[in-house]
C-alpha cells in the first residue's frame, strides 16, 4: 500500500526493519533494499528539507451562476498568448460535491457497492497506466505514482469495510477512507503533507468513475477543445501538455498570470479577463484570437476554417535574421534541463534566460553547491558551444523561497527580491556563482551570468566583481526597473550586456501589480512609457557597442519583435514554441523598416496608437 508507506513517516536517518512472507519473499526484500540504497531514484545525498505544517484547507463559496451567452457574440479580453484557434468549448469540470453521508445502503445491495469500488479503482488505474505510457520526464513519474495510489489495496479495503459494516454508499465510502489517509499524511507535515493533494486526486477519480461523471479539473477528451474557466490553478494546467486542449479562455487573469505563462510555454492561444465567457454553452464553437484578444461564439464556417489553418505550428530553421540578412539571434527561456532539451529540439540558437530559481521552488533549505552544479549542467549540456544566459536567483515577490526570503513583507514586489537577497545572505549568491563557474567548466556552453532586480550602478559593479572573482567572465544585468533603464549608459560601463525583463519593467513603470487581473491593461509592453524606456536602453547599447537582449514575454510577440529590433534590441528570448512565428515576422522586414517602425511608435501616446503606428509601417512593407 503506497499510502500506508507514506503515512509511515520514515525520515532521513531512521532505521527500518523489513520483513516479507510468501512466494519469493527473499527476492522481494532484495528489491526493496535496493530501492533504499538508491534513495528511491532520487539519490542519497540530497539535502533534507525541514518539515513545514500543512496548510489549512480553504473553504470556497460557490460561484454565482453564469449568464448565458448566445451564438454570434464577440467577447473581448486580453490576448496573452499569440495565435488563433477554433474548437468546441469544454468547461473546467466543477469540484465533486461531498457524497451524502446520510444515505444507508440496504444489506442486500452492499455487495454491488463493493463491486463498484473495486471496478472503479481498476478503471482509474488503467486510465492512469495508459496516460503514463504516453508521458515523459517528471509527468510520467507523477502519473505512475497516482496509478499506484489508485491501485492501493488499503484504500479499497478500507472503503469496502465501510460499505459492509456501516452501509455507506460506494462514493461516500471512498470519500471517508481517503479522508483517513489524508489526515495521516497531513499530520506528518513537510513533503508528506503535500501528498494529501495526490490522495484527493485519486479519490475524486474513483468517485467520478463510480458516479459516471466528469473528473474535476481539466476534462479528458479525444477531440480538440477550447478550455473555458473562471480561472486556472497550477494543478489544472498540469495535464494540458499531453491533452487535447488547443486554446484557453478565462474570466480572470492578466498577461503575467500563471495561466498566461503556461499557455505561452505550451504554445496555446489564450485570452484572459473575458467577462461572461463561462456563460458560453458547452460544445459551442469558439474562435479564440490570442493576438487581438477576441473570442467569437459560433462564428461562420469560413472563419473557423481560416483559424484552423492559422493554428499550424511554424517551424524554425535555427537562424533568426531580417530580410536583409541582419542577424537577430532567437533564444529560449528555460527553467531546467527538460525545458532546455525541448528548446534544443526546437532549434533555439541558445538560452537567453535560464531561470535558476525554478530548480529549487520545492526546497525548504538552500541547495548545496554540488546539487546546483548538477542542475546547471543539465541545462548547459543541451547547448554545447552556444550561449546560455543564466539569471541568478530571482526569489521574492510572487516566487518566495523559504531559505531566501523573509516570512512577511508588506510590499514584497518592492522588497528584498532578486539581487537584493545578497544584502541579507551574501553567501547564497557566492555559492551560486561558484556552482555556475564549476558547471561552466564541466560543460562546453558559453555561459553568461546576469543579476535580476538591479537599480543602481553600485549594485551592478558589486555583482560584476563577485562574478569575476568566481571565474565568470561574461557578466550582465536585467533591466527591470525604470532606474536601471535610465542609467543604462552608466551601467554599460561596468557590465558586458543587459537583458530587458519586460514583465517587471511594465509593472514598475506603470506602478501596477502584474498579478492583479483588473490592471492587466497597464502591464502591457506596448505601453508608450515602456517602449520609450526600451528605446533608451537600446540607444545606450548601440553607443557602447554592447548587446541588448529581451527575455520578457514581449520577446515572443511576433508583432512587437521588429519594433524591438528597431529600438536597438540585438537578440530575443522566448518560449520554444514562439520561435518559428517570431522568425517569420522578422524575415519579412529589413533593418531600415524596423527602425522606421521604432521611430513611429516613440511618438505614440497610447497603446492603441503605438500598435497602429507599428502596423502602418510594417504592413505597408508587407503589402509590397
Is 551 noted as a catalytic residue in this protein?
yes
d(CA 350, CA 336): 14
DSSP letter for 261, please. H
- DSSP per residue over 413-461, as a string? GGSS-GGGHHHH-HHHHHHHHHHHHHHHHHS-SEEEEEESS--SHHHHH
DSSP letter for 551, please. -
d(CA 508, CA 81): 22
Q: Which of 258, 467, 594, 624 is catalytic?
A: 258
Is 258 noted as a catalytic residue in this protein?
yes
What does the block give as the cell for 299?
Answer: 462564428
Alpha-carbon radius of gyration of the chain: 27
What does the block give as the cell for 64?
Answer: 454565482
Element (H, E) at 175: helix 170-188
Q: Which of 245, 359, 377, 551 is catalytic?
A: 551
d(CA 498, CA 615): 28
Give 480-483 contacts, CB < 8 A, sequence gap 24+. Answer: 480/418, 480/452, 480/453, 480/454, 480/504, 480/505, 480/508, 481/453, 481/454, 481/455, 481/505, 481/508, 482/508, 482/509, 482/533, 483/455, 483/456
What does the block give as the cell for 260?
Answer: 498566461
Pairing between β-strand 548-550 and β-strand 497-500 as defined by DSSP bridges: parallel
Q: Which ranges of 525-606 would DSSP assign to H, the alpha helix?
A: 528-544, 561-566, 579-587, 591-601
The dihedrals phi and psi of 355, each to the nearest 5 degrees, come to -80, 95
CB 464 within 8 A of CB 456: no
Strands annotated E in 46-174:
74-76, 78-81, 84-91
Residues recognised as catalytic: 258, 551
Amino acid at each position: 500500500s503506497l499510502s500506508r508507506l507514506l503515512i509511515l513517516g520514515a525520515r532521513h536517518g531512521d532505521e527500518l526493519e523489513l520483513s516479507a512472507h510468501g512466494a519469493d519473499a527473499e527476492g522481494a526484500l532484495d528489491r526493496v533494499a535496493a530501492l533504499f540504497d538508491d534513495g528511491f531514484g532520487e539519490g542519497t545525498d540530497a539535502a533534507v528539507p525541514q518539515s513545514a505544517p500543512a496548510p489549512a484547507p480553504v473553504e470556497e463559496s460557490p460561484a454565482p451562476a453564469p449568464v448565458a451567452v448566445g451564438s454570434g457574440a464577440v467577447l473581448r479580453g486580453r490576448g496573452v498568448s499569440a495565435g488563433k484557434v477554433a474548437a468546441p468549448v469544454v468547461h473546467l469540470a466543477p469540484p465533486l460535491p461531498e457524497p451524502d453521508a446520510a444515505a444507508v445502503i440496504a444489506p442486500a445491495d452492499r455487495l454491488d457497492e463493493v463491486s463498484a469500488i473495486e471496478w472503479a479503482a481498476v478503471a482509474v488505474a488503467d486510465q492512469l497506466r495508459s496516460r503514463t505510457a504516453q508521458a515523459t520526464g517528471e509527468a510520467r513519474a507523477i502519473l505512475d505514482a497516482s496509478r499506484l495510489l489508485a491501485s492501493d489495496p488499503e484504500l479499497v479495503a478500507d472503503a469496502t469495510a465501510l460499505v459492509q459494516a456501516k452501509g455507506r454508499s460506494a462514493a461516500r465510502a471512498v470519500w471517508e477512507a481517503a479522508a483517513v489517509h489524508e489526515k495521516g499524511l497531513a499530520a506528518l507535515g513537510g513533503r508528506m503533507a503535500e501528498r494529501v493533494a495526490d490522495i484527493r486526486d485519486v479519490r475524486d477519480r474513483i468517485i467520478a468513475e463510480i458516479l459516471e461523471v466528469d473528473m474535476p479539473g481539466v476534462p479528458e477528451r479525444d477531440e480538440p477543445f477550447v478550455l473555458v474557466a473562471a480561472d486556472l490553478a497550477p494543478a489544472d494546467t498540469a495535464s494540458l501538455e499531453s491533452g487535447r486542449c488547443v486554446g484557453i479562455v478565462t474570466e480572470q487573469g492578466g498577461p503575467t498570470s500563471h495561466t498566461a505563462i503556461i499557455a505561452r510555454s505550451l504554445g496555446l492561444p489564450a485570452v484572459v479577463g473575458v467577462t461572461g465567457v463561462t456563460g458560453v454553452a458547452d460544445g459551442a464553437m469558439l474562435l479564440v484570437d490570442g493576438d487581438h484578444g477576441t473570442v467569437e461564439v459560433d462564428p461562420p464556417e469560413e472563419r473557423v476554417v481560416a483559424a484552423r489553418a492559422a493554428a499550424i505550428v511554424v517551424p524554425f530553421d535555427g537562424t533568426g535574421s531580417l530580410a536583409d540578412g541582419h542577424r537577430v539571434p532567437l533564444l529560449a527561456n528555460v527553467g531546467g534541463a527538460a525545458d532546455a532539451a525541448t528548446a534544443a529540439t526546437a532549434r533555439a540558437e541558445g538560452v537567453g534566460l535560464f531561470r535558476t530559481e525554478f530548480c529549487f521552488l520545492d526546497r525548504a533549505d538552500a541547495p548545496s553547491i554540488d546539487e546546483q552544479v548538477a542542475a546547471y549542467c543539465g541545462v548547459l549540456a543541451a547547448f554545447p558551444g552556444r550561449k546560455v544566459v543564466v539569471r541568478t536567483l530571482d526569489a521574492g515577490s510572487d516566487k518566495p523561497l523559504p531559505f531566501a526570503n523573509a516570512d512577511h513583507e508588506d510590499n514584497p514586489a518592492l522588497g528584498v527580491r532578486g539581487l537584493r537577497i545578497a544584502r541579507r545572505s551574501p553567501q547564497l549568491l557566492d555559492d551560486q556563482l561558484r556552482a555556475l563557474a564549476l558547471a561552466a567548466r564541466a560543460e562546453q556552453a558559453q555561459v553568461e551570468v546576469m543579476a535580476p532586480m538591479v537599480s543602481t550602478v553600485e549594485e551592478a559593479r558589486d555583482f560584476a566583481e563577485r562574478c569575476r572573482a568566481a571565474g565568470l567572465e561574461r557578466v550582465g544585468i536585467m533591466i527591470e526597473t525604470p532606474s536601471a533603464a535610465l542609467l543604462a549608459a552608466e551601467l554599460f560601463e561596468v557590465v558586458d550586456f543587459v537583458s530587458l525583463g519586460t514583465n517587471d519593467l511594465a509593472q514598475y513603470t506603470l506602478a501596477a501589480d502584474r498579478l492583479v487581473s483588473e490592471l492587466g491593461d497597464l502591464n502591457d509592453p506596448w505601453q508608450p512609457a515602456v517602449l520609450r524606456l526600451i528605446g533608451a536602453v537600446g540607444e545606450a547599447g548601440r553607443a557602447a557597442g554592447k548587446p541588448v537582449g529581451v527575455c520578457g514575454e514581449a520577446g515572443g510577440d511576433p508583432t512587437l519583435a521588429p519594433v524591438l529590433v528597431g529600438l536597438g534590441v540585438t537578440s530575443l528570448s522566448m518560449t520554444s514554441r514562439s520561435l518559428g512565428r517570431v522568425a517569420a515576422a522578422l524575415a519579412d522586414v529589413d533593418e531600415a523598416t524596423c527602425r522606421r517602425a521604432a521611430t513611429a511608435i516613440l511618438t505614440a501616446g497610447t497603446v492603441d496608437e503605438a500598435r497602429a503606428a507599428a502596423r502602418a509601417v510594417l504592413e505597408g512593407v508587407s503589402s509590397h
